[in-house]
Amino acid sequence: MNFELTKEQEMTRKMVRDFANNVIAPRAVDIDRHAEFPKDIFDEMGRLGLLGIPFPEEYGGSGGDTVTYALAVEEIGRVCGSTGLSYAAAVSLGASPIYYFGTEEQKQEYLIPLTKGEGLASFGLTEPNAGSDAGGTKTRAELTGDHYVINGEKCWITNAEYARSITVTAVSGKREDGKNIISAFIIPKDTEGMKITSPYEKMGVRGSNTSEIILEDVKVPKENILGDPSKGFHQFLYTLDGGRISIAALAVGIAQASLDKALAYAKERKQFGQSISKFQAIQFKLADMAMEVELARNMVLKAAWLKDQKKDFTKESAYAKLFASETAFRSSNQAIQIHGGYGYMREYEVERFLRDAKLLEIGEGTSEIQRMVIARQLGC
């Protein structure tokens, strides 16, 4: 086993860390406070090639791997959970399905602009009555001549308002056993009949755009169907497996930030004549935080490595997402506790880490769903 990063991976991590510290971090508080999507930051990220890290150069990407991409998500998430979430969703859920399953024509038209940073993409799966039960999708797509007509509703969709294209899932027919066939469709942003609003007032990741999509007689050419029309369900399960690695990486970033803030504060804060970092009660909290952050990071990198080696990574991505997201919540909660009353105040930022971390136990498969995935992989 070789746990060392390659020279290219280290260089990318340093580049992203410098960008995160110098450009994103100074605005993180305002992004959260004003629930402001930082489009200009994403434009700059596009120019730096960050939106194309895991894609081949022939499609406008950087030719990097999943490990490199996970490192980038962690560094961005360390300074701003909102920016980290939108970045992860743009690459893992927005662009990746087009790369995995798209035709050459679809890649040329839709993927290359995304990898070059000329726009973002979004993935519309969740519906008001179909979250964990994605098979319960109600959105319908009917083939009429050479077009599909799509009707339905999607909710809590990341980046939709700023997306160049949106891939949505819809029921397109019935299988022989009577179950629904779920297909995926690429819908360009300004397609008639697609209404996108952002009505949500969120607890955390407030600067990440979260939208509702209404589809009323939306017509798309049948060429816009993504991949095998009969395997849309399996395609988005594979997409979610990869997306869980990026959410886990984001969680590691938030957990690391919580540890960094708590450790720095514990060394500075004096009680009973000495810094509170000298008290065993505080030391044990910090030790547990440090241990869990490192374990979570290693699990993320293992899942990413397995994906890069084209090995099965379903179980490991669930391990990573489950453990890292719960680690982020525990670490941010402990960071608040170590800060005491100050931790409850916005000025010290750790309360933001807790609010941001909570979503990671819910989005892209709840912690309960991750445990179900793991149990199935165990043969239960």
Closest CA to 98 of 225, 215, 192: 225
How far is 314 from 298, CA to CA, in rounded Å?
16
Hunting for tokens 């990318």 — which residue is that? 12
CB 91 within 8 A of CB 51: yes
Which residues, including other chains, have CB under 8 Å from residue 316's CB and lie 6 or more apart? 299, 302, 303, 306
Q: What angle do CA 104, 150, 116 make, to 5 degrees?
A: 35
* String of DSSP letters for 297-315: HHHHHHHHHHHHTT---HH
How far is 229 from 235, CA to CA, in rounded Å?
10
Which listed residue (8, 192, 364, 368) is catalytic?
A: 364
Is 121 strand, coil or helix?
Answer: strand
* Pairing relationship of beta strands 163-174 and 120-124 according to DSSP bridges: parallel
Judging by beta carbons within 10 Å of its beta carbon (0-12, 13-18, 19+), is residue 294 exposed, middle or buried? middle
Catalytic residue list contains 142:
no
Q: Which two tokens stand for residue 340?
A: 């005491």
Closest CA to 297 of 29, 67, 2: 67
How far is 175 from 183, CA to CA, in rounded Å?
12
Buried b / exposed e over 109-133, threshold 16 CB at 10 Å, is bbbbbbbbbebbbbbbbbbeebbee
CA atoms within 13 A on the CB side of 352: 23
Judging by beta carbons within 10 Å of its beta carbon (0-12, 13-18, 19+), is residue 159 exposed, middle or buried? buried
Catalytic residues: 364
